[in-house]
Structure 1
Amino acid sequence: MTQQQLADAASIHVGTLRKIERGARGAGDSVLEAIAAGLGLDPSILLADRAQASARIQHALPDLSAVIAAYDVPEDGPVRALEELQASVAESASWRLAAQYVRIVRHVPELLTELFRAFHTATSEQQPEIARLLVSACRSADAVAYKHGAHDLSARLIDLMRWAAPHTDDRLIDSVVAYVRTETFFAAYAHSSGLRALQRAMDAAPPPTLAPSIAALGALHMRAAVIAGRAGDVDAADFHLTQARHLGDQVAEGIYAGTAFGPCSVRIHEVSVAVSLGSDHVQRALDVAREWVPPPDLPAERRSGFYIELGRAQLWAGLPDDAFESLKVARRIAPQHTRDHRWVREDAATLRRLKRADAESLSSFAEWCHAV
């Protein structure tokens, strides 16, 4: 892009952009976000110090907590038309799938306040749709809270999703909430309890007759396979993975009710399950990666997760150089997701101790993800 093209895309004056590029002036949050939007990137990509992205997110979490504390007594203010709210919620969902967490924390707290306000003033005809939008917006906020270790805040957001779900009059939303709720069991290492909760959700799910209901049930089986793996239940993990694979073959890969599902997503979960089961099962993950890589049209968060888990499998298999390459691919795909992933820090620290990759680049990577 030329400077003029980028300035036009960002809706800023080209002279401002030239000064920023020369270092003659800084870029405040609003200008930084405008430029990032013009480039189709998350603002964190443009920060010279990647620590600034995490700092911005951490500083925003108390504001998010304050917003959801007042879910039943939101501040007075305007409410946009339903079509505008739908567009904003869809945008926040796209940021979640792309692991663009800075954008979420800058915009979703205010959006949630407006949605709470809209819900409490909506007509009976509008309330189910507003409730559906609330579930989606809370899920976007939860992605940030959970990925950044704010597990209590994540649990509160999931409770709000569970509160809103019955108002949607849509059983598929119950499946979505059950899928997300599994995070609380992962965080508490309550894997057996999480598996029971997912089984209950699968029993209550709508019959898998159309693509949305097939995907909803398939996503629950994917989640159940992973948590069964972490519980060390090989038979249950294999059963749920087989069920997910069967359902995945019946639909095209896509985003269903905010969750990616289809043959590619199931294949990624094959790697997740193998890693969840432990080092004795890593060959299953390596076999998948030998024959297949995630296509670029899959959500960035899901693709980066594949390489993060593959990196762990390669490390366990005694392939540290391959593991480092996988972590670097994950960083290129979704830097925020990769940088704040606990396994990335652990594995980068292990790789640095092994000193099997280039010392300078490995040390730089370890510092980038706070492994040292």
Structure 2
Amino acid sequence: MPPDSPQEIGRRIASFRRARRFTQTALAAASYVSYAMIRAIERGARRPSDEVLESIADALGVDVARLRTDPGGSERRVHQALPAISEAIAGYDLAFGLPKRRSDELAHEVAMAQKWRLAAQYGRIAAVMPGLLADAIRYMHAAPSAEQRYAAQLLASAARSADAVAYKHGAFDLSARLIDLMRWAAERADDPLMQATAAYVRAETFFAARAHAGGLMALERAIDASPPPGERRSAAVRGALHMRAAVIAARAQNAAAADTHLVQATHLSGQVAEGTYLGTAFGPESVRIHEVSVAVGLGRDYVEQALRAAAEWAPSPSLPSERRSGFYIELAKAQEWAGLPAEAFSSLRVARAVAPQHTREHPWTREIARNLLCFYRSDAEALTHFARWAGAV
């Protein structure tokens, strides 16, 4: 689709700025952009660079894709970064000198990357990840023995954030290598909960290969090996494994196993508050979202089950954006199957508002949009625009 004009970008920035009761001076200070540039951008007299636009988006507290609807900078950054990420991890088992960042700086940037992953801001992750991974690997090898476990934890978290970028953009071979790195680091962290989390992420390789029966087996082994759910974090980690096992069992068309794991996940969600544990969201709302995932995974015969699970309910804004947008995409799939095109399109639009980058890269978004174009004529202009944005036409 054609790039947004400077005038369109400027109008969106001004709208969000006013909604947040910022003056142009306040926005300039918060985004570290000059007042003169903010004025010029809002007038449409200047097109902001990717870096400036991301700084403004951060100051406004919105995803950059809310300011710029064409794929633009985020996709370019991701595809430019993938070879550099691959290079950074090529010799992860070898020592290549000292890290450029101090350990506290490294920890801060790894935490920011995790925050961006949960918010589905893949362009921002891609921009920093090659250097961040390289330093995390160097720190892993150079850290004193007393810091080895900590260094391994940082490396595992960095690898997981990088994997989100690779997996969501279809770079499945790189994703598998990053997951291997995460598992390697998790073993050196000597932390059973981190190893269980690595097993949770490893399921992506089975989803990508459509090897759902094998993925179910791997997750069930990880559940058996995980620590008993005696405290909050262990209950959340095991519950997340059951949650993911339920989804992959559904994709394997094993309804009995899907139901068993969903029951276990529901039981464990009653022991913890909704939250993010070792980088994974888990709790009662996450399990309810996965009820929809399971029903959709089982296919058209379960569409009423999916609609019932989502009836008169919406995930709260406190949940990670990636998870919320995934819920609306899967709900849109169920609504399309049920012959509810207006509702399906509405759900896709909500998904886009919640996490534009995640929604645009989700293959079901393109599939649903293409199907709706064939059969849904109401609001045709808006649907056509959406389909172009998603790359469906």
TM-score tier after normalising by the smaller chain length: over 0.9
Quote the residue 1:3 is aligned against.
24
Distance 1:30 1:276 in 2: 39
Residue matched to 1:161 = 182
Q: Which residue of 2 aligns with 1:353?
A: 374
For the Cα contact (< 8 Å) 1:79–1:118, is it kept in 2?
A: no
Distance 2:150 2:378 in 1: 52
Matches within 5 A, 1:208-223: 208-223=229-244
Deviations 1:4-60 (A, max 9, x none): 011010122211222222333332333223222212233343335324422321122
After superposition, give the CA deviation of every residue in 1:255-298 in whole Å (9 maximum; x if it has no partner). Answer: 00000000000000000000000000011111121132101111
TM-score with structure 2 setting the length: 0.92
Q: Displacement of 1:123 after TM fit?
A: 0.8
Q: 1:56 to 1:357 in 2, by over 3 A?
A: farther
CA contact (8 A) 1:172 1:205 kept: yes
TM value normalised by structure 1: 0.97
Q: Distance in 2 between matches of 1:367 and 1:48?
A: 11
- Cα distance in structure 2, aligned partners of 1:141 and 1:163: 15
CA distance in 1, matches of 2:98, 2:43: 41
Contact 1:245–1:263, Cα closer than 8 Å, also in 2 = yes
Q: Which residue of 2 aligns with 1:297?
A: 318
The SS at the match of 1:260 is strand
- Asked if the contact 2:99/2:136 (under 8 Å) is kept, the reply is no
Q: Which of 184, 195, 204 is equivalent to 1:183?
A: 204
Q: Which residue of 2 aligns with 1:324?
A: 345
Tell me if 1:103 matches 2:127. Answer: no
1:226 equivalent to 2:241? Answer no
Give the CA deviation at 1:354: 0.4
CA distance, structure 1, for counterparts of residue 134 and residue 296 of structure 2 = 39
For 1:111-122, what aligned pairs fall within 5 Å after superposition?
111-122=132-143
Q: How much has 1:173 moved relative to structure 2?
A: 0.5
Work out the CA distance in 1 between the residues paired with 2:46 and 2:344: 40
Alpha-carbon separation, structure 1, partners of 2:76 and 2:36: 29
Q: 1:240 aligns to what?
A: 261
Equivalenced residue count is 372
Q: Which stretch shows the higher mean deviation, 140-149 or 53-62?
A: 53-62
* 1:75, distance to aligned residue in structure 2 (A): 5.0
Q: What is aligned with 1:24?
A: 45
Tell me: CA distance 1:76–1:357, structure 2 relative to 1, closer, same or farther (3 Å): farther
What is the Cα-based RMSD across aligned positions, in Å? 1.4
Partner of 1:138: 159
Q: Which amino acid aligns with 2:174?
A: L
In the alignment, structure 1 segments of 5+ residues that lack a partner are none
How do residues 87-102 of structure 1 correspond to structure 2 at under 5 angstroms?
87-102=108-123
On the 8 A contact 1:249/1:262 being kept in 2, the answer is: yes
Return the letter of the residue paired with 2:225: A
Is 1:67 the equivalent of 2:93? no
Q: Which residue of 1 aligns with 2:12?
A: none
Measured in 1, the distance between the counterparts of 2:255 and 2:99 equals: 53
Please list the CA deviations of residues 164-183 of structure 1 after superposition, one character each: whole Å capped at 9, or x if unmatched.
11111110001100000000
Could you tell me how far 1:65 is from its partner in structure 2?
Answer: 1.0
CA deviation digits over 1:117-153, x for unaligned, max 9? 1111101110101111111111111111101111001
